[in-house]
Structure 1
Amino acid sequence: MAKYMLIMRGTDESNAAMMAGIDEAMAATRRFIEEMVKAGVLLAAEGLDDPRRGVVVDFGGEAPVVTDGPYGETKELFGGYFLVDVASKEEAVEWATRVPAARGSKIEVRRVAGSDEVPQAGE
């Protein structure tokens, strides 16, 4: 088994579409979460707060620069994630295709590296 993160990425337009039908979107998401729980693959699921309430810490210069949201030039924002424990990347992708996402959204599928894969000091 391997852990995969299904990262929800939306645009201003897809987020607005989702918010226009928020009750239906939340009901569909609850049903999807129930399916993953019944299948025994869901480890965690969280949605992220409005990006206007967040900050960005930019390490592009000598000292980190903190900038309040909203962010300029942002075409895609992370909206939340599902963390699943599945047998393969293909199974993670299959779950990602079933996420009840608004048109224009994307789901990024990334394997979570195991602790034995993270470089240790002195390596």
Structure 2
Amino acid sequence: MRFMMLLNIDEKSVPAGGPSPELMAEMGKLLDEMTKAGVLLDTAGLRPTSEGTRLHLKDGKIEATDGPFAEAKEVIGGYALIQAASKEEAVEWATRFLGVHGDEWELTSEIRQVEEPGAELG
């Protein structure tokens, strides 16, 4: 089963200077372990909302709004697409993923199973 780990972050709470070299090293170790275990399919951080565009469909019309988005407190700051045998295993990997960030970050990870064509959701 594939799971999407969405990493939600309050952009105002990001430590000055972004991730430390130590965090990047620890994250690199974990991502390497996940890759070797055949779990990690893809991962990336996302650029700030100030560089994004939001599209909204209503009544058949599409409206575009450039960032930053004032009403957004938490936004998706990154993601990981993983392959896991169960939701419990996906939660374990997400727990480790969050854990390497230490106590200077405030993050939330939402883990959702990817719908596979023709497969039952577990």
Q: Same fold (TM over 0.5)?
A: yes
| Equivalences, count | 115
Q: Structure 1: which 5+ runs fail to align?
A: 118-123
**1:42, distance to aligned residue in structure 2 (A):** 0.8
**Over aligned residue pairs, what C-alpha RMSD do you find?**
1.8
**1:96, distance to aligned residue in structure 2 (A):** 0.5
- What secondary structure, in the 3-state scheme, does the structure 2 residue paired with 1:107 have? strand
| Counterpart position of 1:56 | 54
Code of the aligned partner of 1:88: S
CA contact (8 A) 1:18 1:25 kept: no
Following superposition of structure 1 onto structure 2, how do residues 30-41 of structure 1 map, counting pairs within 5 Å?
30-41=28-39
Distance 2:2 2:74 in 1: 24
Following superposition of structure 1 onto structure 2, how do residues 88-103 of structure 1 map, counting pairs within 5 Å?
88-99=86-97, 100-101=100-101, 103=105
What TM-score comes out, normalization by structure 2 length? 0.84
| Counterpart position of 1:84 | 82
**1:62, distance to aligned residue in structure 2 (A):** 4.2
Q: Higher strand fraction: Structure 1 or Structure 2?
A: 2
**1:61, distance to aligned residue in structure 2 (A):** 4.3
**1:92, distance to aligned residue in structure 2 (A):** 0.1
- What secondary structure, in the 3-state scheme, does the structure 1 residue paired with 2:73 have? coil
| Counterpart position of 2:117 | 115
Percent of residue pairs identical = 37
Change (3 A) 1:37 1:18: farther
Distance 2:56 2:46 in 1: 20
Q: Which moved more, 1:105-114 or 1:28-37?
A: 28-37
- What secondary structure, in the 3-state scheme, does the structure 2 residue paired with 1:44 have? strand
| Counterpart position of 2:41 | 43
Q: Structure 2: which 5+ runs fail to align?
A: none
Q: Deviations over 1:45-68 (max 9, x none)?
A: 111112111100011344111000
1:71 to 66, 69, 82: 69
Distance 1:21 1:47 in 2: 11
Distance 1:84 1:8 in 2: 13
Q: Which moved more, 1:80-89 or 1:60-69?
A: 60-69
